[in-house]
Structure 1
Amino acid sequence: MEDSLETADAMRARGWGAATKRTTYQRYRFRKTDAFACAFIAVLTVAAAASAVAACGEFKFCPRIAGFASWFSYIPYVLLVALPTILEAKERRTWLRQPLKPRTRQTPPSAPRRFASRNPGLARKLHLR
């Protein structure tokens, strides 16, 4: 039962029944948007590390409560942590906007001739004779 649920989820994720024609393998290439995303994540990581070093990098022998760093120094870290959630929400919005088309049962091309051979009226209607 568990395997069938996983199979159904995988088929739905791959768009089973969304198109009338068969789909083919699609190769994904590294594009400019991918490079931009990698650069953005790298910049956020460096900014979060720099703000952490600035906030906590000072050593004092006698510790005291000095307060938090300014609020904007936490923005890179929050963006870095929230990035997967933002991308998941974008993906869900994309999938929810595309409703799955119901699959219609298609008869093979030989079916009208087979049925027409049993019913002469149908053969005249379909112009098969």
Structure 2
Amino acid sequence: MKISTKGRYALRLLIDLAQHNDSGFITLKDIAARQNISKKYLEQIVPILTKSQMVQSNRGFQGGYKLAKNIDQICVYDVLVATEGNLSCVACLDSDVNTCPRKEDCATLYIYEGLNQVIKTYLKGITLQDILSHEQSFDYII
């Protein structure tokens, strides 16, 4: 499993919105400038996050984007699944039902199932709140 640019940028976009959560709707232009990401690229990511009900949009004057949920309700796993699709480490576990003809005889299947579970548990355990808190702990060190 390798996280694509889309997944990484989606997470940065959400972190930016979380950092400016009290500012109302934020324009993609502002996020793009702060995060050094192309506005056009963010325009491709926002619909995914809106459809996944993580981001809310507002058109017109003072339009832009803001989080649709509290920062402690958005976990990294949900962001990456929304943008990457499946986070499975092997193809036979890409769907809910393993249709591999060798699944009954596969000596290594349990390894990959375990790895998938570890990844899922780890990423579900990290919210935007956790990321902001972690970031703030570094501010005190510097």
Structure with the higher fraction of residues in strand conformation: 2
TM-score computed with the length of structure 1 as normaliser = 0.31
TM-score, L = length of structure 2 = 0.29
Higher helix proportion (structure 1 or 2): 1
Larger Rg over CA atoms:
1
Higher relative contact order (CA 8 A, sep 6+): 1
